[in-house]
Structure 1
Amino acid sequence: MRDLVLLGSSIVLPPDPIPPHHRTKPKPKPKPKPSLLTSTSARLSPPISSLRSRHPLLSNLRWDLNNYSDLATKLVQDGRFDDFSTMAETLILSGVELSQLVELVSAGISGLLREGRVYCVVEVLRKVDKLGICPLELFDGSTLELLSKECRRILNCGQVEEVVELIEILDGFHFPVKKLLEPLDIIKICVNKRNPNLAVRYACILPHAHILFCTIIHEFGKKRDLGSALTAFEASKQKLIGPNMYCYRTMIDVCGLCGHYQKSRYIYEDLLAQKITPNIYIFNSLMNVNVHDLSYTFNVYRNMQNLGVTADMASYNILLKACCVAGRVDLAQEIYREVQNLESNGMLKLDVFTYSTIIKVFADAKLWQMALKIKEDMLSAGVIPNTVTWSALISSCAKAGITEQAIQLFEEMLLAGCEPNSQCYNILLHACVEACQYDRAFRLFQSWKDSRFQEISGGTGNGNTVGVELKHHNCITSMPNCLSNSHHLSFSKSFPFTPTTTTYNILMKACGTDYYRAKALMDEMKTAGLSPNHISWSILIDICGGTGNIVGAVRILKTMREAGIKPDVVAYTTAIKYCVESKNLKIAFSLFAEMKRYQIQPNLVTYNTLLRARSRYGSLHEVQQCLAIYQDMRKAGYKSNDYYLKELIEEWCEGVIQDNNLNQSKFSSVNRADWGRPQSLLLEKVAAHLQKSVAKSLAIDLQGLTQVEARIVVLAVLRMIKENYILGHPIKDDILIILGIKKVDANLVEHESQVKAAIIKLLEDELGLEVAFAGPKIALDKSINLGSPPGSDPDWQEPLGRNRLPTELESSTRRPAVLQRFKVTRKSLDHWLQRRVGATRR
């Protein structure tokens, strides 16, 4: 069957069966076979070409209309639409009744539709329309059904653009296009193809376009395609007359679905800029989308009041939800009291959602007694708690660690005839696990799984017993109350329990260090048709690592990846934690490198675990490794306690001086007062210098550092030089030490002099190194002659004492950005390294 090709606003028959997107050059339309037209004309007397000129005589011919029907079909099948039009016009002029002609053409159209020749039907409708006949009159109920079936066939082939153009043509003929296809089917295909313009084009055809625009926006929102949704929204503002509040509300909801709450605020502000007052539904949607921002939500609420829009129960429920997210119990209580006053005045009626939300606020704050008080208010108002309400009540006691009260509430839920869901069961199991009542958790699970409640002992040392026995037929349930005397209750049905992945995860936590039991639960989870998630695998890693089996924990990471689940930051951090605890630091840091390789961003726990992995540093590589992690941590936006890392680096640096810890202890204890300011500058300086490693020349920048910090940086560089010297990397140049630009302020000059004196004392007295003035580096004027001795480094000057300053710097009046520097000579460094390395080897 030949494909349908749409050109402009017409549908024509392609001359060959090649699809349009495969054709490069259209072939000329073949001429009809002479035998077809000749044989037909021979039976019908005059040929078609003479009908128009001799139409007055046509009334004398007694032809059967069935013959005309056959001829019309043949002409249409051969694409002879002009001849078909001529024949129809001639028949009308010859006195054939319009009803007979309609019947004649309708029969031919039905045949064409059965053959899938909808393009021919369209041409016939165009010709008939030119004759003054309404094309819709050619279609009865069965013919319309054939047309609808053909449209669905084209749509199922994925040719949605062809369908939309066909519907546009049929709409021009006043067809009931809404009944031809289900609008949602076309919209969903447009959404799947990410084609908002085509969806808008289709919506504009139908009379209920304002509804379809909302549907289009919402469907794109469900696909998280905010850009296409916004395209449809902007089109709705242009195509529809006046602002459509439904579209505005739907677009705000879609912003929430896509996580772009800021865009929802722009839409709201756009309405206000047009001097249009949003209705209550737009305000509610806006507050709900921004419920995470308590301040903004209440600003919208106040603005709603200022504009004279009356808040409904949904508005207050959203405000309570915002308080719940923000953890503002006090504010939630104020809103609750306000709503109660409105209810007492007959202006509002609190619903089950309101009570459930305020209960959840108290549950999250572990205020279980206040949550129970809300339940009493709820019952007094005649509002029946639902499953969500009971779950929140049970959760309030479970979070407070009151397992017995949580189980009692579960019993009350059953007594009230409310069917619990898996969340209720999971909350109870979690409460048992948090209270370390592991056996009770497993007994509850087994009894629920068997659709039968059994006697459950009272956990850890309280001696209470909670038991329920449930039978399917004539159920008689025995439920000794955990807080009162035993009593017998009756139920008419059992409550089936379907474990979820969360259920098994909770039970895996109850396994403690029993790895094999946890592994059996994971296998049972798979047998039940559930897939272990990241939490399941992380718990298994935690249990395995807790037994000291580090190799097994790392192997689980690999198995997890092979199972098709990419390990997340929690799984890696759990494995790293146990590697650190067992002193397998090489594996820990290799797992960290693997995380970075798989582009898994470490979290604060990961960084802190690695930074505290060592209690001291033994080599330059270890210091560089931890400093690299520290820098990566700060780049990721995390703040850490720098003091611990600073102490370790200080200890490592002080090891340069001597093996005993006398000077080190004295230094550390005396100068702790200098640690008041943030340590990030010091650690960044140390990291920057240690990254140079085996550089040919070294320059130590001490600008902006205190005496303590400058000492640590210098010692860090010297420790690095010593480590590299042992590895066979000799010193090839002097060490240049930069103090900074000479200051005019007296306090700054004094501080700089103190830093310089402290560093010279360290280098000369404690380390025995030779310090020489390197000469100032002048940014604007380099004409100062420093009087360098012949045959020496041009920057060299005589050795400096601790209290001597360069005369040039003291006497200079121009002071053009003089950079103060001095250096440690390579010769003295060589002697010092030989002594240190020799002593170390001995």
Structure 2
Amino acid sequence: MRDLVIVFGSSSVITNRHHYHRLCYAAAPEPNRKTKSISSFTKQLPHQQHSASPASLSSSANPLPSHFSDAVRWIPDGSVEYYADFASKLAEDGRIQDVALIAETLAAESGANVARFASMVDSDLLSKGISLNLRQGKIESVVYTLRRIEKVGIAPLDLVDESSVKLMRKQFRAMANSVQVEKAIDLMEILAGFRFKIKDLVDPFDVVKICVDISNPQLAIRYACLLPHTEILLCRIIHGFGKKGDMVSVMTAYEACKQILDTPNMYIYRTMIDVCGLCGDYVKSRYIYEDLLKENIKPNIYVMNSLMNVNSHDIEYTLKVYKNMQKLDVTADMTSYNILLKTCCLAGRVDLAQDIYKEAKRMESSGLLKLDAFTYCTIIKVFADAKMWKMALKVKDDMQSVGVTPNTHTWSSLISACANAGLVEQANHLFEEMLASGCEPNSQCFNILLHACVEACQYDRAFRLFQSWKENSDKEALFEDDIVSKGGIFSQNKLKNHGPGSLVNSNSTSPYIQASNRLFFKPTTATYNILLKACGTDYYRGKELMDEMKSLGLAPNQITWSTLIDICGGSGDVEGAVRILRIMHSAGTRPDVVAYTTAIKICAENKSLKLAFSLFEEMRRYQIKPNWVTYNTLLKARSKYGSLLEVRQCLAIYQDMRKAGYKPNDHFLKELIEEWCEGVIQENSQSRDKTSDEEGTNLGRPVSLLIEKVAAHMQERTAGNLAIDLQGLTKVEARLVVLAVLRMIKEDYMRGDIVTDDMVIIIGTGEANTESGKQEIGVKDALVKLLNDELSLVVLPAGQRHVLEIKQDAGCVDDADQDPEHAPEDTKSIVGISSSRRPVILERLMVTKASLHQWLQRRK
């Protein structure tokens, strides 16, 4: 009879160690006891994921007392067969972590027996245990266990069968599609160490997309390095972050590429340049190209084409790259010429486009190139934008002569060329020719033809065309439904076989239907926007069009609403136009600068100036930047100024316009301000004549200087600070500034503000014998005459105030900066002898407070 071992807590011992591996199963015939015996032993085994360190072993005689002290007494000289057989049974039970623990214990106790242990463990049972864990979703435990047993000589690849791979693939895909993507990549890095085929687990592009979505370029790069075609994934990473607009992550991936790859990869350089175009950082694309040249790396044609395409808005740089391409002996292809033509189109260089087109044709005749439809379409667009419709038609003949069939885009460009030139009949003829050739028009073709009619003011024709296209499309749809209901088959091949414009039903006796009845027309939002312009001032017709487009599921955009506002305002309905602007808000479409400017223009044309300025303030509250038309509309809204508030409003708009970089009409605004200023004087007509006579002497001077001077005084109340600086102004300009301040004082006085001080007028600092001094004397005389004779104000010399003109090389103490009359004695001596600092005399006039009171009461 075989030995029987019963575990009694911590006092149990194992006897006859050479036969222990059979005892649990031979002594207990019941399956329950077999399972219980194994469980009694394995329950004490810790579930560790990492290898046990030999340093943790207390002694060689009892290497793992912490694991087995409460269950069994470890026998260090047990046979390898025993441990291998016991580990196999544990693996069958799914306890693969305990198998790894036994292997690590043997490795720590006797490294020589590890190889025998690895060869004697039943790999089928171990594979079965791995599969069992994977079915339980323990992918992380399986991977870490495989790493542990790999260290003791058991090959992990031999333990993962096809069914286990399928289970791993399912769990890795679930992890990659969640927040656990980083953990998934950690596990895949471990598997990659076993030479496991990582690409079979998940779709690489899905992992890259998730890394891009969570903005983690380092994680994406780690994953890319696990796969054989790393450079392809690196390009995908760069492009993904580029589409997202994350240039920082793009540069991180790009720098990693240069460190990972041993040789320059043109595909990565090309992708990087394309991404610079996506992010709008064309300067960075130039740096990449220059770095290649510095490293003596010759770019290929694809890199050069991408560089020219990204910089196509800069014709000089694009031509420079093209010339450099010839120096590097990189042969231009058809894409190169297409990009050059595109660049000429953007720059409006028709002459250069013609030269490039001739060069491309010459190379085609030599057999070096084959011009494609894109080339012809681009050159046609160049001529179309320049309204050179005859040249565009000639290009069409050229392409047909070499056997290139015009496509839809080519026909659209041809129709656009005639439409831009106002040739509605020619555009319509091309449209019919397009239908006859069997080319299906798209919505753009229809829209171009409608736009041509609207631009030529043929509104009724535009509506007739639109209605006929809709009716023919409806008939065509009914006809197709009839074919299906009768068992017929609609075939484009049969259509082509029966000639252009035919629609054939195999059961029908009709040979074909005319081309005019074969229009598959689907209106777009742009279609209705064009038709709205044809409504003129008929608001109700425009409203019907908007309701119709909504019924078709088309959402009105900002152009639609702006056009409807203009239609309503054209009939003089200001309140209706503003109401549409409010409805636009409530409908969920944010009004843009065009919508607000349209409403402001309507208000200005109908003399609702208060409402116009309130709309202007409203658009600024919504942080909508005004454009040149907005500013100009408001500045021209008034034919004259009636109050200080109005002047301040327009001067504020004028200053905002200049700060925004727009050039206002200075002369127009000057005339309005001049008229408002001269209103201070009773004899308005005489004063206007005087200033008009003198104005001829100021030709060539910037009018903006005068307006800025006026604006500086108008934007602040002068009741408490009556100092007017006229330095640098001519007689006419000085007169206007003084009159502007007087009118502002008058209006403030009428609101209750009392003048509390004399008004000081600073004339200038020039000397009498200089040109500027002579001008200042003329200004002084003109102002005295104005204030004394015309306005009856008391004007007195305010004295000569001495100030110090500080030179750049001066190095004096702060006490010298004050008036020399009140400066210390040592400072006066410095002023007298130093060439770097000299006193400057300010000529000033003073209008007495008493005379201002009398003038205000007299004119109240």
| Matching residue within 677, 681, 685 for 1:653 | 677
Alignment match, 2:18: none
Q: Which moved more, 1:83-92 or 1:768-777?
A: 83-92
Contact 2:175 2:181 in 1 (8 A): yes
TM alignment of 1:427-446, pairs within 5 A: 427-446=448-467
- Find out whether 1:82 has 2:108 as its counterpart: no
Q: Deviations over 1:277-310 (max 9, x none)?
A: 2222121111111111111111111122222222
Match for residue 276 of structure 1?
A: 297
CA positional deviation for 1:720: 0.5
Residues 139 and 453 (structure 1 numbering): CA distance in 2 closer, same or farther, change over 3 Å?
closer
What residue in structure 1 maps to residue 819 of structure 2? Answer: 782
Once the two structures are superposed, what CA deviation does each residue of 1:683-716 show, in whole Å capped at 9, x if it has no partner? 1100001112244021111111111111111110
Question: Are 1:692 and 2:719 an aligned pair?
Answer: no
Partner of 1:365: 386
Q: Is the 8 A contact 2:224 2:233 kept in 1?
A: yes
Distance 1:140 1:729, change over 3 A: same
- Whether the 8 Å CA contact 1:399–1:431 is kept in 2: the answer is yes
Which of residues 790, 806, 828 in structure 1 aligns to 2:851?
828
Which among 609, 631, 634 is matched to residue 585 of structure 1? 609
* Letter of the structure 2 residue corresponding to residue 335 of structure 1: I
> Pairwise mapping of residues 407-418 of structure 1 onto structure 2 (< 5 A)?
407-418=428-439
TM-superposed CA distance for 1:187, in Å, is: 0.7
1:357-403 residue CA offsets vs partner (Å, 9 max, x unmatched): 11000000111111000000111111111111111001101111111
Match of 1:29 in 2: none
- The 8 Å contact of residues 525 and 555 in structure 2, kept in 1 or not, is answered as yes
In the TM superposition, what whole-angstrom CA distance separates every residue of 1:475-532 from its partner, at most 9, and x where no partner exists? 99x9xxxxxxxxx985699442222111111122122222122122222222222211
1:563 to 553, 577, 587: 587
Aligned residues: 749
Once the two structures are superposed, residues 665-685 of structure 1 have per-residue CA deviations (whole angstroms, 9 ceiling, x without a partner) of 332244244142211111110
Q: Does 1:816 pair with 2:839? A: yes
**d(CA) in 2 for partners of 1:141, 1:259:** 48
CA deviations on 1:403-441 (whole Å, 9 max, x unpaired) are 111111111112222111111111111112112222222
Q: 1:421 to 1:285 in 2, by over 3 A?
A: same
Partner of 1:3: none
- Preserved CA contact (<8 Å) 1:475 1:493: no
- Aligned equivalents of 2:540 and 2:654: distance in 1? 38
Match of 2:443 in 1: 422
Which of 137, 142, 148 aligns to 2:169? It is 148
The 10-residue stretch of structure 1 (245-254 or 626-635) with the greater mean CA deviation from structure 2: 245-254
SS at match of 1:200: helix
Please tell me whether the aligned partners of residues 298 and 328 of structure 2 are also in contact (alpha carbons under 8 angstroms).
Answer: yes
Give, in whole Å, the separation in 1 of the partners of 2:522 and 2:39.
73
How far the C-alpha of 1:48 sits from its partner, in A, is 8.2
Match of 1:378 in 2: 399
What is the correspondence of 1:500-519 to structure 2 with a 5 Å cutoff? 500-519=524-543
8 Å CA contact retained: 1:472, 1:493: no
Q: Is the 8 A contact 2:41 2:72 kept in 1?
A: no
Deviates more, 1:179-188 or 1:524-533: 524-533
Give the aligned partner of residue 533 of structure 1: 557
TM-score, normalised relative to structure 2: 0.82
Structure 2 contact 726–762 (Cα < 8 Å) conserved: yes
Q: How does 1:92-103 map to 2 (within 5 A)?
A: 98=119, 101-103=122-124
Matched, 1:552 2:552: no
- Between the aligned partners of 1:336 and 1:352, the Cα distance in structure 2 is 13
Distance apart, 1:193 and its partner CA = 0.9
User: C-alpha distance in 2, partners of 1:475/1:731?
Assistant: 100
Structure 2 distance, partners of 1:97, 1:277, is: 54
> 2:270–2:306: 8 Å Cα contact kept in structure 1?
yes
Question: Is 1:53 matched with 2:77?
Answer: yes
Quote the residue 2:7 is aligned against. none
The answer on 1:399 being equivalent to 2:414 is no
Between the aligned partners of 1:227 and 1:506, the Cα distance in structure 2 is 42
What corresponds to 1:70 in structure 2? Answer: 92
User: For the structure 1 residues 75 and 193, does the alpha-carbon distance in structure 2 shift closer, same or farther, using more than 3 Å as the test?
Assistant: closer
Name the stretch that deviates more: 215-224 or 604-613. 215-224
| Letter aligned with residue 769 of structure 1 | L
* Equivalent residues of 1:256, 1:289 under 8 A apart: yes
CA contact (8 A) 1:196 1:232 kept: yes
Counterpart Cα distance in 2 of 1:432 and 1:129: 79
Instruction: Give the stretch that moved more between structures: 553-562 or 271-280.
Output: 271-280
Whether the 8 Å CA contact 1:627–1:687 is kept in 2: the answer is yes
Q: Secondary structure at the match of 2:799?
A: coil
Matched to 1:826, the amino acid is K
Q: Which amino acid aligns with 1:333?
A: Q
For 2:125, the equivalent position in structure 1 comes to 104
Alignment of 1:474-485 (within 5 A): none
Percent of aligned positions that are identical: 59
- CA distance, structure 2, for counterparts of residue 367 and residue 444 of structure 1: 26
When structure 1 is superposed on structure 2, of 195-204 and 518-527 the one drifting more is 518-527
**How far does residue 54 in structure 1 lie from its aligned partner after superposition?**
2.4
Letter in 2 for 1:782: D
- The correspondence for 1:214, drawn from 221, 230, 235, is 235
C-alpha separation in 2, matches of 1:327 and 1:710: 47
Distance 1:453 1:718, change over 3 A: same
- When normalised by structure 1's length, the TM-score is 0.84
Question: 1:701 is matched by which residue type in structure 2?
Answer: D
Per the alignment, residue 347 of structure 1 pairs with 368
Distance 1:182 1:469, change over 3 A: closer
The answer to whether the Cα contact below 8 Å between 2:503 and 2:513 also exists between their aligned partners in 1 is no
Aligned residue number for residue 761 of structure 1: 785
Distance in 1 (CA, whole Å) between partners of 2:391 and 2:600 is 42
Contact 2:242 2:278 in 1 (8 A): yes
**SS at structure 2 position matched to 1:776:** strand
CA contact 1:75–1:84 (8 Å) conserved in 2: no
Residues 184-193 or 336-345, more deviating: 336-345
Q: Which amino acid aligns with 2:559?
A: I
CA distance in 2, matches of 1:146, 1:397: 64
Task: State the Cα deviation string for residues 302-326 of structure 1 (Å, max 9, x = none).
Answer: 1222222222111111111111111
3-state SS of 2:761 partner: strand
Counterpart of 1:304 in structure 2: which amino acid? M
- 2:193 alignment partner AA: G
Alignment partners' CA distance in 2, 1:622 and 1:129: 87
Question: SS of the residue aligned with 1:774?
Answer: strand
Task: Name the amino acid aligned to 2:378.
Answer: T
CA distance in 2, matches of 1:415, 1:104: 75
Name structure 1 gaps, 5 residues minimum: 1-33, 455-467, 479-487, 786-813, 838-842
Report the Cα distance in structure 1 between the residues aligned to 2:276 and 2:843, rounded to whole angstroms.
Answer: 58
Give the 3 Å change call, closer, same or farther, for CA 35–561 of structure 1 in structure 2.
Answer: farther
Task: Call closer, same or farther: CA 1:75–1:178 in 2, change over 3 Å.
Answer: closer
CA deviations on 1:166-224 (whole Å, 9 max, x unpaired) are: 11111111110111111110111111111112111211222211111111111111112
Which SS does the other structure have where 1:276 is aligned? coil
Per the alignment, do residues 56 and 209 of structure 1 end up closer, same or farther by CA in structure 2, a change over 3 Å counting? closer
CA separation of 1:696 and 1:58: change in aligned 2, threshold 3 A: closer
Offset of residue 341 of structure 1: 1.5
Aligned pair partner of 1:199 in 206, 214, 220: 220
Asked whether 1:227 is paired with 2:248, we answer: yes
Cross-structure match for 1:301 = 322
Per-residue CA distance 1:74-97 (angstroms, 9 max, x = gap): 363xx6741365699999989889
Q: 1:95 to 1:344 in 2, by over 3 A?
A: closer
Is this contact kept in 1: 2:118–2:152, CA < 8 A?
no
Could you say what secondary structure the match of 1:779 adopts? strand
AA in 2 matched with 1:427: I
Aligned match for 2:338, one of 313, 317, 320 = 317
